[in-house]
């Protein structure tokens, strides 16, 4: 495995200002240590700084090292340092698509979505055949409320990689947030097929069917049989099956000994959806407000909560992540 990893990292830029491409020239060990990502970002930072200080590297290898150190700085939340590294990588090799993609992440960290979008656009212009770039841009477009443009990017990703389960699931959520219930169903079904045992797509499919006024109890029951329910999915399924009251689950969530913020987020979002299916608009609004307060880093659920709040409460129309 290590030999394969090192071979994969043996990427050289054969001419100044050219993007990365495969080559046979060996990479110096000091660079390899930088490019093999450490779980401890301090290790990556130290290795990459050592590689930069060592000197004697080609322009192209220096660009790769600055890009790797920029990623590590971004992961640490040192966004200004990360941007400086990515800027240097791009200065050295102006058509280096990964550096633009990674610089976009830095701008997102600094809450500058317009700059991030411009960098994703450039990464895609330079490498239009890379599905991940479109998926990342779609994620941002959704965050900016540009759901129709996000949908077009997801279509492009799935055309290139029909089994890209994350993109398929996020496309379904995009349709759901656009209020195109029913249309989202096939994507949720596909997600269930590609990620057997994952409980959340089953719940989302069930909610989508309810919103589209086409409930399918047999389908729901059949999907449940394929799941090993544990953790937060278990009480949520009990809720939707009418076997547990929402209030009980909310109390359990707040008292979670693990501090399960993701669990609290899921309960709040699905609780809001549960109230909507029963026509309890006021309770739904309260649940979605709770979701917004706890779902900060769980983008799909956060967007769903904001989409519903904007629809249900016009006073919130000028607020939210976009």
Sequence spans of domains, the chain: 163-228, 232-322
Torsion angles phi and psi, residue 191, rounded to 5: -60, -40
- Tell which residue, 29, 30, 99, 43, has the closest CA to residue 72: 43
Do the Cβ atoms of 83 and 103 come closer than 8 Å? yes
Question: Given this model, what pLDDT does residue 299 score?
Answer: 77
CATH of region 163-228, choose from 1.10.530, 1.10.3470, 1.10.490, 1.25.40: 1.25.40
Contacts of 268 (CB under 8 A, 6+ apart): 250, 253, 287, 288, 290, 291, 294, 295, 305
Distance CA 138, CA 77 (A): 23
User: Rounded to whole angstroms, how far apart are CA atoms 185 and 172?
Assistant: 7
CA–CA gap between residue 272 and residue 127 (Å, rounded): 41
Looking at residue 321, its pLDDT comes to 53
Q: Check residue 260 and give its pLDDT.
A: 73
The residues pairing with 21 across neighbouring beta strands, listed in sequence order, are 12
Query: What average pLDDT is seen over the chain?
Result: 85
Instruction: Tell how strand 11-12 and strand 21-22 pair up.
Output: antiparallel
Contact 257, 247 (CB under 8 A): no
- pLDDT score at 11: 38
Instruction: Tell me the DSSP string of 292-306.
Output: HHH-TT-HHHHHHHH
> What confidence tens digit (pLDDT) does each residue in 6-61 have?
333 333 343 344 554 544 457 888 888 888 866 678 888 999 999 999 888 899 99
- What residue ranges of the chain have pLDDT lower than 70? 1-25, 37-39, 250-259, 317-322
User: How much is the pLDDT for 261?
Assistant: 77
């Amino acid at each position: 495995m290590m030999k394969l990893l090192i071979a994969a990292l043996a990427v050289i830029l054969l001419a100044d200002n050219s993007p990365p491409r495969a080559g046979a020239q060996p990479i110096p060990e000091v660079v390899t240590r930088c490019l093999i990502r450490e779980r401890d970002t301090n290790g990556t930072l130290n290795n990459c700084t050592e590689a930069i200080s060592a000197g004697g590297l080609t322009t192209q290898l220096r660009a790769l090292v600055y890009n790797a150190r920029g990623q590590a700085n971004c992961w640490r939340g040192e966004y200004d340092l990360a941007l400086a590294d990515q800027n240097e990588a791009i200065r050295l090799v102006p058509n280096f698509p990964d550096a633009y993609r990674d610089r976009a992440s830095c701008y997102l960290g600094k809450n500058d979505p317009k700059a991030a979008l411009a960098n994703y656009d450039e990464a895609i212009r330079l490498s239009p055949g890379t599905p991940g770039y479109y998926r990342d841009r779609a994620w941002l477009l959704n965050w900016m409320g540009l759901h129709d443009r996000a949908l077009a990017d997801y279509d492009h990703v799935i055309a290139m990689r029909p089994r890209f389960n994350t993109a398929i699931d996020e496309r379904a959520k995009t349709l759901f947030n656009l209020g195109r219930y029913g249309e989202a169903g096939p994507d949720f079904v596909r997600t269930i097929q590609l990620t057997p045992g994952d409980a959340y797509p089953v719940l989302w499919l069930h909610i989508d069917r309810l919103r589209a006024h086409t409930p399918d109890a047999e389908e729901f029951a059949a999907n449940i049989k394929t799941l090993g329910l544990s953790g937060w999915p278990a009480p949520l399924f009990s809720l939707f099956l009418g076997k547990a009251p929402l209030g009980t689950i909310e109390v359990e969530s707040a008292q979670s000994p693990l501090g399960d913020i993701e669990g609290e987020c899921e309960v709040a979002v699905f609780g809001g959806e549960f109230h909507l299916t029963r026509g309890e608009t006021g309770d739904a609004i309260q649940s979605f407000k709770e979701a917004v307060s706890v779902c900060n880093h769980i983008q799909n659920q956060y967007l769903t909560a904001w989409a519903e709040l904007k629809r249900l409460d016009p006073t919130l129309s000028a607020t939210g992540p976009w």
